[in-house]
Amino acid sequence: MSMDFTDQRLSYEKGQLDQQSVPASPFELLNAWMNEAIAAQVPEPYAMSLATCGADNKPSVRIVLLREITDTGIVFYTNYESAKGQDIAENPNAEALFFWHQLERQIRISGSIAKIDANKSAAYFQKRPHDSQVGAWVSQPQSGEVANRTVMEQTFAQLQADYPADSPVPTPEFWGGYEITVNEIEFWQGRANRMHDRIVYSLGKTGSDGAANWATKRLLP
């Protein structure tokens, strides 16, 4: 059965974005927008669509959770043996997208991607709830085929018995963080009549003082 959405539309009128008034660093604006999304009680504003593409040239996209904004990029954690991990091993470039409907905003982030330090990954893993730590061990490998849910639940129960609530769960070698080092980031603010504001930051050559050199441009909607 087909579905027709051609008569469904909204007019975006909640904000504006002026190229002349944006900060020199995109990370300043990224942090500001993230804080505004949190203040507006956007559900899980740190949830982002992550797009990867492996050697087969077939793009894949899924939701992951942002866990840190660094001085150079954004960090998330996952199973290194997952489908996304395989894509990244074959093609170390990725894009992330945040969309906050309540604020009529989206942010596109693109750049190179690499594993973060193993000690940092382990430190974060040990902060997670105990059962989430146990659950990570069930996914060997993540995205692998399983006969049914009962198999998953039995494995989880066995791992809970092996690692009771008062005992530490070892950090899996196949689990950890990735950082997307940003080389381009687009801020999109919805406007009326599809006259949206789109400001893109592109990373240029590092200055003699080691500071990042960002250029901005406005795109047509």
Catalytic residue numbers read: 194
The secondary element (H helix, E strand) that includes residue 39 is helix 26-39
Q: What is the rounded CA–CA span in Å between residue 142 and residue 60? A: 15
Instruction: Output the 3-class SS for 105-171.
Output: EEEEEEEEEEECCHHHHHHHHCCCCHHHHHHHHHCCCCCCCCCCHHHHHHHHHHHHHHCCCCCCCCC
Strand partners of residue 109: 96, 185
Q: How many helices (H) and strands (E) does the chain have?
A: 5, 9
Q: What is the dihedral of CA 119, 121, 123, 124, to 10 degrees?
A: 170
Contacting residues for 26 by C-beta, under 8 A, at least 6 apart: 182, 185, 187, 201, 214
For the chain, the first-to-last Cα distance in angstroms comes to 33
